[in-house]
Each structure stands twice: as C-alpha cells, then as structure tokens.
Amino acid sequence: MMVTGLGLQIIFYEDRNFQGRSYETSSDCADMSSYLSRCLSCRVESGCFMVYDRTNYMGNQFFVRRGDYSDYQRMGMSDCIRSCRMIPMHRGQFRIKIFEQENMSGQSNELQEDCENIPERLRMSECLSCSVLDGHWLLFEQPSFRGKMIYLRPGEYRSFRDMGINGTRVMSMKRIMESCS
C-alpha cells in the first residue's frame, strides 16, 4: 500500500544558503527551469524526495528528507538541481529481484531486506538490471550504502545505463522505510 502526497513539501532556491528566488512543490518536477534559472539549495519541510542534476530524473541523484541542504555540491551534484521526484511512503512488504546482466538475464536473486554488500552476500559480480516488485529502494555504488545512489520505485529496470547512470556499479541496496516526516 502506498500513501502519496500527504503533507510533502520541498522548497528550491536559486542560490546557495536558501537565497534568491524560490519554488515550492509537493510533487514531481521533471524540469526546474520552468520555475528557476538554476537551483543551488533546497529545504525539505516534510516528506522524502530524490533530487537529480539532469532533467527528467536523470544523472546524479541524491536522497533528501526533512532538513536543510544549503549547497548542491555537498550532495554530490555535478551541476545544479534540475529535477525532483517525490517518494511516497510505502507500507507493506518490500521485494526486489536483481539480475547480473542487462535485460533481466544472468544470475538473479530476490531480496526483501537491505543488502550491505551484494558481491559478498549474494556472490554476484554485477547487478545491471532489476525488477522492483514491492516498495521503494535506494541502490548504491559502494558497499555499506555509500557513494552514488539510484532511486527505484515499483517497475522493471532493464538497463541502468538507460537511466543515465553510466559506469555505476551497484554494490549495496536498502529499502526506503522511514516516514520522512
């Protein structure tokens, strides 16, 4: 079961340290340039969001929850924030099936819990595609939930490259379980 949009809010600012013009939203935004010339900081009043440094939810991603984010560079963004996606609260089970190769092929494993080190725990050298069956997940390029991240919601992901994530290896993953309030 998914609970959407209830009281979620994020405010984006053109300049660092919450300066300049602002844009407030509680939903997805594929292209911030319609509202701001650039976005260098944000404040999450409530909820969880994923912010991206390219339009249409592509490029480097960063998970934000209630709090202040005064400088986009501290989030690992190579450029300013260009799009954002609201992460609805999920209640229920979590399931993801990961595949060693693109197009859902090769060795596979189904998980229902966080995995701190995919190669070590599952004996998989790569994770290049997956199917999210239930819940919302964050995938990380390094073990122990570190490095660049990828947000996935229910659906099939036949190639992480098609998502604008080139050269990123998936080494750990975790469920987004918190209420983010």
Per DSSP bridges, beta strands 58-69 and 105-111 are unpaired
Residue-number span of the structural domain to which 117 is assigned: 95-175
Report the CATH number at residue 115: 2.60.20.10
What is the rounded average pLDDT for all residues in the chain? 90
Q: Is residue 1 part of a domain?
A: no
Which of 46, 61, 87 delimits the end of a domain? Answer: 87
Which pLDDT belongs to residue 125? 86
- For the entire predicted model, the pTM comes to 0.87
Q: State whether 111 and 64 are in the same domain.
A: no
Give 35-72 pLDDT, tens digit per residue.
999 999 999 999 999 999 999 998 889 999 999 999 98
Task: Report the pLDDT value the prediction gives residue 161, as an integer from 0 to 100.
Answer: 80
Give a yes or no: residue 27 inside a domain.
yes
Q: How confident is the model at residue 5 (pLDDT cuts 50, 70, 90)?
A: very low
> Helices (H) and strands (E) in the chain — how many of each?
1, 14
